[in-house]
Amino acid sequence: MLNLVQKDSFRNGIHPPEMKDETSHLAIRRFPFAPTLVVPLSQHLGKPASPVVRAGQEVTRGQTIAEPDGFMSVAMHAPASGVVRKIALAPGIGGNMVESIYIEPHPASSQEVDDGVPCMLETSTPDEIIGAIQRAGIVGLGGAAFPTHVKLKAPEGKTLDTLIINGVECEPYLTTDHRVMLEQTADIFTGIRYLMKATGARECMVAVEANKPDAVRKLRKVCPPDLPVTVRVCPVKYPQGAEKMVIRSLLDREIPSGGLPVDVGAICVNVATTAEIGRLLPRGRGIQERVITIGGPGVEKKGNYRIPIGTTVRYALEECGASKDISRVFLGGPMMGPSVSNLDIPITKGTSGITAFTDAQMDEATGHKKIYACIHCARCVEACPLFLNPSQLGILAKKEEYERMAQEFHLMDCFECGACSYVCPSHIPLVQYFRLSKKMVRKLSAAK
Amino acid sequence: MSIAVLTLATLAFLFASLLVLAHRKLHVDEDPRIDAAFLMLPGTNCGACGYPGCLGLAEAMAEGKALPGKCTVMNEDEREDVARFLGVDVGAEEKVVARLACAGGTNVARNRAQYEGLGSCRAATLVAGGGKACFWGCLGLGDCEAVCDLDAIYMNEHDLPVVIEDDCTACGDCVDACPKDLFSLHPVSHRLWVACRNLEKGDAVLADCEVGCDACGRCALDAPDGLITMVDNLPVVDYSRNHDAKKAIERCPTGAIVWFDNKDGPVTGHAAHKIIRQGAKRRAPT
């Protein structure tokens, strides 16, 4: 019931252990180059990029190695100076095989980056900024990897008034956005200037969860007086960091079912994405590295690392001294991060962290628990931040009534935060049911 | 008393005449053979004939639009009975069956991770591909077995589905159910069959599965001119030509290309190595 009266927040949600203290005070460190870097051509939602390099070609760090193929696509840049070994299939996050560029860095490859054509804030038009963001290969670094330039372009007849910079980071274990807010504060405000010019937003809010008071202080101190930016503090609650929840908390606007933030005149950009825009655009560079948190009980040298895109999870874990008996690895946090079946998959732009657990801990936490029938306790209903009915949806999913789930119970609005599965006393894997159901609904509607 | 009897009798007569009139006026001429033919059909409503259920086929047959050979559930004698009753040809159609393009059971294919969760291939595919080392391979959780109404698919001891060709009606339910798209419908005369979908080549394949196609291309060389072509590291058989060429499988080192023998089912070539590894049984927890 406390949820009802909380200011600057949304209703429902859960309070999983935050587990951020182990890494939140550790400064971002650089990561060494792996012997082979694997850069997938599809690290974003949308069409894969088309490569512009050949096998055997020398590339320099920061050089464009793949151009965007259409509007729903972004460029890729070489993470290190070296030789392109081959362009072939490599395992991807979804367990699938994706076309990737294999780069072998030179043994003494430096951290030096080639500067490209800069996109200056003062002289560029909004369209030029949006084009530069696409060429810089910038996607949502929070995890969804949605191409940022696509959401900056408001559809015809819709206007944006508020830009929300999302620094909530509600996922347990992850501290990348926290460190970026502390260490790249100036870049964030440069990025905000670019984004406000590109979108025409009049107002900007930076949302930070109350468990990062140092970040709030730093942002308020550095904030330039001429920018219409307010730093807002949200109560600690999961999934506060979801786009719909941030907009609901800060603006008290509700995105309609099946709608986008632009439908309520807002746009939400991750804070690390904003910092990268502010850091890369003035120098004409592209994303060739990103900040990730490597943590979890299975890792010895926990920390926040600026890691080259294309480093394999295996190399990253070995460098960080992962224990021998790790049994489950998540890309991102344990709530929403996909668990991986293959340690040879590369870290992509959408990877915000690696969280590793050992067998003993998994057994203690969730392992091998029997699934019981739904007892209609409605804890999932109280947890769902979108006011869906996970209990009913779960029962329908079991009966494979996918169309009814979509039409009567708004299945497609679910963004798979996992709050319902987390609270379910019967251990029903609700989110897995919903992922499957959403896929089946898409398949059925495509067949029609 | 007599008034009541009279009134009821009048009413009864009135309604009876109305019914008689309605029967005469609103009568729809229906071919009486439809009902009879429908009762002769198996009643599985599997849809393999392409008509909506058995009644649909019965109507089409009575109108002369379809022949009894369309029904893949009935056996030869039953089809002849229906044909004799309707006074038409049997219309022999070649038997079509579902075939699985994977031979990687738990004894030969490796798992990279142990999948835990809902015991369905469709659900497992969404969790990092399901944990099998080969992304294209069969997950062995039996969605096809569950969806087959005619029990023509069973999971063998290595968690690989086996199609009982005599029972398969080629309704296509397993084709839809498989999240890896491993099933396809083929006439039984298509005896040359590539039981692998792995797009990689060489050791990358063999590291994951002992019976995968490593794209050596020997089958393409041995087959009569141009019958088999290598596309994306996989042999593709041109079924539009005469493909009665058992020679093509003989030198396959892994046994990925097989020959469907009428008696023994799929047989591999002489060069195919013996399968030594016997993997542990894997079952998803319930």
pLDDT, tens digit, 9 for 90 and up, residues B177-191: 999 999 999 988 888
Domain regions of chain B by residue span:
32-86, 95-188, 190-276
Q: Which residue of A has its CA nearest to B129?
A: A95
pLDDT at A1: 36
Taking an 8 Å cut-off on Cβ atoms, the answer to whether A95 and B125 are in contact is: yes
For A2-25+117-283, the fitting CATH number among 1.10.150.170, 3.40.50.11540, 3.40.50.300, 3.10.129.10 is: 3.40.50.11540
- Look at residue A2 and tell me whether its pLDDT is greater than 50: no
Average pLDDT of the residues of chain A: 90
A278 phi, psi to nearest 5 deg:
-65, -30
Long-range contacts formed by A251-255: CB under 8 A, 24+ apart: A251/A162, A251/A164
* pLDDT of A161 strictly over 70: yes
Pick the residue with more confidence: A369 or A405? A405
Instruction: Spell out the domain ranges in chain A.
Output: 2-25+117-283, 31-114+286-362, 379-447
What pLDDT sits at residue B265?
74
The pLDDT tens digits of the residues spanning A5-63 come to 456 788 889 999 989 999 999 999 999 999 999 999 998 888 999 999 999 999 999 99
| DSSP H or E stretch at residue A167 | strand A162-167
H or E stretch at B265: strand B265-267
Question: If pLDDT is split at 50, 70 and 90, which confidence band does A413 have?
Answer: very high
Find the mean pLDDT for residues B1-7.
93
Instruction: Answer whether A436 sits within 8 Å of B126, measured CB to CB.
Output: yes
Q: Which residues of B touch A359 (CB under 8 A)?
A: none
For residue B150, the model assigns a pLDDT of 86
Q: What whole-number percentage of chain A has pLDDT above 90?
A: 68
Which residues of chain B are within 8 Å of residue A89 when distances are taken between CB atoms? 199-200
Q: What is the pLDDT of residue A229?
A: 93
Indicate the pLDDT class of residue B278, thresholds 50, 70 and 90.
Answer: low
Residue B6 has pLDDT above 70, yes or no: yes
Domain B95-188 indexed as CATH 3.30.43.10: no
B274 vs B51, higher pLDDT: B51
Please tell me the distance in Å from A348's CA to the nearest CA on chain B: 15
Residue predicted with more confidence, B115 or A208: A208
What is the mean pLDDT of the segment spanning A142-168? 88
B207 touches chain A (CB under 8 A): no
A95 in contact with B, Cβ within 8 Å = yes
For residues A257 and A79, what is the distance between their CA atoms, to the nearest angstrom? 39
- Which positions in chain B touch A94 (Cβ < 8 Å)? 128-129
User: How far from A181 is each of A145, A270, A272, CA to CA, in Å?
Assistant: 20, 11, 8
pLDDT, tens digit (0-9, with 9 covering 90-100), for A217-247? 999 999 999 999 999 999 999 999 999 999 9
Q: Which CATH number fits domain A31-114+286-362: 3.40.50.300, 3.40.50.720, 3.40.50.1110, 3.10.20.600?
A: 3.10.20.600
pLDDT average, residue stretch A97-122:
88
Overall CATH class of domain B32-86? mainly alpha
A100 three-class SS: strand
How far apart (Å, rounded) are the C-alpha atoms in residues A206 and A191? 12
Q: Which residue in this structure is represented by tokens 């309704």?
A: B171
**Interchain CB contact of B127 with A (< 8 Å):** yes
Average pLDDT, chain B: 87
Average pLDDT over residues A310-320: 93
Q: How far apart are the first and last CA of chain A?
A: 44
Position B79 scores a pLDDT of 87
In A286-350, DSSP assigns E strands to: 289-295, 303-308, 326-331
Q: Would you state the pLDDT for residue A405? A: 93
- pLDDT of B242 reads 80
Predicted local confidence at residue B281, as pLDDT: 47
